[in-house]
Every structure is written in structure tokens, then in C-alpha cells.
Amino acid sequence: MPGRDTYSAPIFTAGPHTPTQNWAYTNCLKFGHRQTIASSFAHVPTPRNLIASLGTDEATAIYQPSTGRYWDFWRAAKNAKGHWSACWGGEITNYPHNPGIFRHPLGAAATGLPLGAYVIRISELQKGAIDHAINLITVRTRANCHSWPANRDDGNTAGASIPCEGQRFRLDPSFSPSHLYSPVARMVARAMQEYGAIVTDKGGAVVTQAQDPRPYEAGHNGVNPYPALLDPKNRYPGYAQYVVLNEIPLTLLQALPVNYGKPAPPGAVPGTWGNA
């Protein structure tokens, strides 16, 4: 989680007059979705200060409240002329009313779940509450399995005990976060109890992500907000900022059924539709 850890995505808000670009689709994966992907890269309001994450994902997200449109991109890059391209990504229209799912096969994450819906915001931590499900990234995800709200997967491991991408976990509701030292740890733990943590992707460690602090720093005299939020009493000087999250007992995570919360299909007979 956050600080200068390199896979956390920056999230940008575009104003109503932000200049638009037609992003180029590089198709670096050589998949056969060129028309679908490329059409969602058109007329993207692209802030002049846009950046991508520092890791190999090179992810970024843009939301334009005035139009209700949202984009995220994977392996985003800007050329010398200022034109942007990406290998994958997509657009969600009417984002405020979207349940947090891209139309297949769009979206930067391998699950089709938008970065902006599940990444923890700096503003939420400053406010003191996270009021949505957060993302959970694990090293192993079940091969050929995805759970609602995910609509695709890139699972890498066989086995019924391996979580599916999109599967929701919750922190045991009997656990009390109030004794946790870090205010952020308390907020994350409560969000995991109240809304859950959804497996949005796989990665090199078990993590949850908060937004990249660099855009915030640019508007606040270079001040990174995370150290004071995560470790307000500087109890862990010299340690990685996220060490305070080690207090959250992952052994108390409870896996909810595959497709938990999936809406019933139209015309389903009451009592015949449930979780797999």
C-alpha cells in the first residue's frame, strides 16, 4: 500500500474543459479486441499533468464528473509530442451509476474491475472513513475462475482452495479494530468488515492499494500525505510505511461464496437463485 510503492495507480479528475485526445491502442498483448478497445480510447479528457504508476503496470485513471465518464489504462505512455497510448484499458459511461464493472473486455485490471472503484483515496483517509469495498491483490488466483463482479480473469493456479479473481472476502466481524495503532489500519479493517475486500488482480504480494500520492504532492508543496496518516506518532521510523497494516490479522479473513451478491437474472424464480 501507497507511499512510493510503485504499483499504486494515480487517479485524476478532469474538468469540463480538459482538452481531449484520441489515445493510441498499442495492442502489446496481441489480443483480438482492437476495435472494441480502440473505440473506447477516443476523445479522452487528458490532464496536462497526467502520469502513470511507476511500476511495470504503468496504470492511470481519469474521471470527468461533468460528463460522468471514467477511463483507466494499463501500460500507459506519453510520447515526445505529448500524445498518450496504452496497451489496454477502457471507458465507462455514466460512471456514478455503474456497479463497478467494465464492459467485457475493457479495463486495465485483468478482472474488468475499475481502479477508481476499489483503490483507497487519500481524501477518504483524511476524512476518516472508507465507505466502499477495497481491492485485494494476492500472489495466487485460481486458474480459469472468476467471481462476480469480475467478468474475466488471468488466474495462475489450479486448486479449489485458491481464491477466484473477483471473489469477496471480509474480516471477521467479531474482530475489534479499535485497538489498532494506525488510524489507516483501523479504517482499512472496518472497510473490510463492512464492505469487504475484492480480489481485483494478482501480484507479487498480498496487498491493498491506495492512490499514488504524486499528484497530491504536486499540489501540496511536495508533501506526501501518507506518513502522517499511516504512522502519526512516528512509531516506526525508517520502516516501510505500510508496516502498520501488519496489525490487521489476515488469518481472520473469511471467503464469501463465489458470485456472492450477484444480481438475479431477469425472470428468475424467487428462491431458485443464489450464490454458487
Q: Tens digit of pLDDT for each residue in 208-232?
A: 999 999 999 999 999 999 999 999 9
Asked if residue 203 is part of any domain, the answer here is yes
Asked if residue 230 is part of any domain, the answer here is yes
Asked if residue 262 is part of any domain, the answer here is no
> How far from chain centre, in Å, is Cα 179?
27
Q: CB of 141 within 8 A of CB of 164? A: yes
What per-residue confidence (pLDDT) applies to 1? 43
Low-confidence residues of the chain: pLDDT under 50: 1-4, 276
Q: CB of 146 within 8 A of CB of 212? A: no
What per-residue confidence (pLDDT) applies to 246? 92
The total of structural domains in the chain comes to 1
**Percentage, residues of the chain above pLDDT 90:** 82
Domain that holds residue 26: 11-255
Asked if residue 269 is part of any domain, the answer here is no
What per-residue confidence (pLDDT) applies to 2? 40
Asked if residue 179 is part of any domain, the answer here is yes
Asked if residue 245 is part of any domain, the answer here is yes
Q: CB of 223 within 8 A of CB of 217? A: yes
Asked if residue 51 is part of any domain, the answer here is yes
Asked if residue 270 is part of any domain, the answer here is no
What per-residue confidence (pLDDT) applies to 269? 67
What per-residue confidence (pLDDT) applies to 265? 81
